[in-house]
Amino acid sequence: MSKKIGLHIGGRRFDVDVEDHFAAFLTEQMAKDFNIDGNNDLKLLLQAYVRKNHELFLQERLHRDILQKIEKEL
């Protein structure tokens, strides 16, 4: 099953279909980054994109560091 999640950006509504098991997580994350009940400008969208990519960067770096430590122990 999928669920439709919507967001207003630049005066237009955008809907995305996501799997049910991901919908609650995505809705919670979007509420942290956007005004769910109103309009969001493009600058806010760009800021959220950069913020999420920074989080991904930090996670990947942490994973790499952990993997290197494990490889050294083997």
Instruction: Report, as an integer, the average pLDDT of 8-14.
Output: 97
Beta bridge partners of 40: 9
Separation CA 36–CA 27 (nearest Å) = 9
Domain carrying residue 58? 2-73
Total domain count, the chain: 1
Indicate the pLDDT class of residue 1, thresholds 50, 70 and 90: confident
pLDDT at 74 over 90: no
Scanning the structure block, which residue is given the tokens 């919908």?
23
Note the pLDDT tens digit of each residue in 24-72: 999 999 999 999 999 999 999 999 999 999 999 999 999 999 999 999 9
